Amino acid sequence: MKQTYILDGYITALSPITVTRPDDTFAGGGHSEDLSRLPRVGAKKQDTTAYLPGATFRGKLRRACQDRIIKRLSSTGQPATFSLSEHYMQRQGVDTTQKTAKEKSDGLIDGEKKLREKNPLLSLFGRWKLSGHLSISGLIPSTDNCIFIDGDGVRTNDFIRSPEKINLLSADEQKQLKLIMQEEAQASIEVNEIKSTIKQLKKDLKTAGDAEKEVIKEEIVKLEQSIVTKKDNKKVKESIQRPLPGYECFKPDTNFTSKISLFNATEYELGLFIETMAEFAQEPRIGGHRSADCGSISLEYDIKIFPELADNPIKIGTLRIDETGFILIDDTENKELEKARENFIKALGENQFDFTEFLR
């Protein structure tokens, strides 16, 4: 019997959390467009609410799901290796074989049902033209003033910091280093002058007439392109001595509202989801900049269902991940949550699934 499960709860940041996407940058709040921004709920402005996309969490769970399956298969002595195309399909829902583009499902009775039964991972997370039963909402912060900037500063050329290290270089390399440092110093002066001009032109845009605005915009484009050209013409493409603009983060102790839904899930899909969360608990981390210890979280959800003909959902359990690990509290009379997990593990051991299948 299929059932829809709703998990309502919250996620708490135990360390800074950041997610950066290429098109989310903007200037504002005294910062340039070089600052990596958190995604916004709406307009890209300083005072627009920042959030964490549900796909950030969902992607991490999808990978944890495959990791758990591999571990379970290995523990029962079953083959736990997959081809490159199977790997991409399981972990990212990407069909590198292009077979799904040629898939014909018209007139195929119960084709989707059979595929979902055979491959519960794909049924949960989906692929192109096959929607997943698992959905995760965006994580909206419920804590005020929860954003700060981390990772900003200056990257210093090590030979400026420790001049004595120059003696470790050969005579030819010392000459090369001198040329590099002279080139960087000159380029920095020229680029800063251009950026200053661009900044002034952008101010002029606010009061310029329509005709004048077009001229100013063209000039800005030319100046920005000249910066790119100067960088391309450098002998050393990457500047060693340079400012680091940093990135926006949610502060530790920030709380986020979160909702996870399992639509029309079978018992095996529920069991696999619980297994997935147990795997995620081994490294409960989302977002980027792991090297700076960003992304560590704890979470707690109430697990609810809507009984038939009921007007309100009822709570049937709690799922929690914290410093003690993974905790599942099953409030059902027959321990349906625990049984779903046990039955999935049993079915997996009996080789009832085929996680390589992805076509109807």
Q: What is the phi/psi pair of residue 324, to 5°?
A: -90, -10
The last residue of one of the domains, among 221, 244, 267, is 244
Q: What is the pLDDT of residue 305?
A: 95
83 burial via Cβ count (<10 Å: 0-12, 13-18, 19+): exposed
Q: What is the pLDDT of residue 155?
A: 78
The answer to whether residues 287 and 235 belong to one domain is no
What are the tokens at 212?
């004048």
CA angle centred on 346, ends 342 and 352, rounded to 5°: 130
Strands 255-265 and 3-13: antiparallel
* 259 within domain boundaries: yes
Give the DSSP letter string of 200-237.
HHHHHHTT--HHHHHHHHHHHHHHHHHHHHHHHHSSSS
The last residue of one of the domains, among 244, 262, 280, is 244
Overall domain count for the chain:
2
Calpha distance 115→89 (Å, rounded): 14
Q: What is the pLDDT of residue 235?
A: 63
The answer to whether residues 36 and 82 belong to one domain is yes
Calpha distance 277→284 (Å, rounded): 9
The answer to whether residues 256 and 227 belong to one domain is no
* 151 within domain boundaries: no
The answer to whether residues 188 and 283 belong to one domain is no
Averaged pLDDT in 10-residue chunks for the chain of 360 residues: 93 96 84 87 92 95 97 89 92 91 69 91 94 96 94 79 86 84 77 85 86 86 82 65 85 97 96 98 95 95 92 96 96 96 96 90
The answer to whether residues 199 and 331 belong to one domain is no
- Structural domain containing residue 278: 3-146+248-349
The answer to whether residues 138 and 191 belong to one domain is no
The last residue of one of the domains, among 190, 225, 244, is 244
The answer to whether residues 200 and 268 belong to one domain is no
Q: What is the pLDDT of residue 354?
A: 93
The verdict on pTM exceeding 0.85 is no
Neighbours of 172 (CB within 10 A): 8
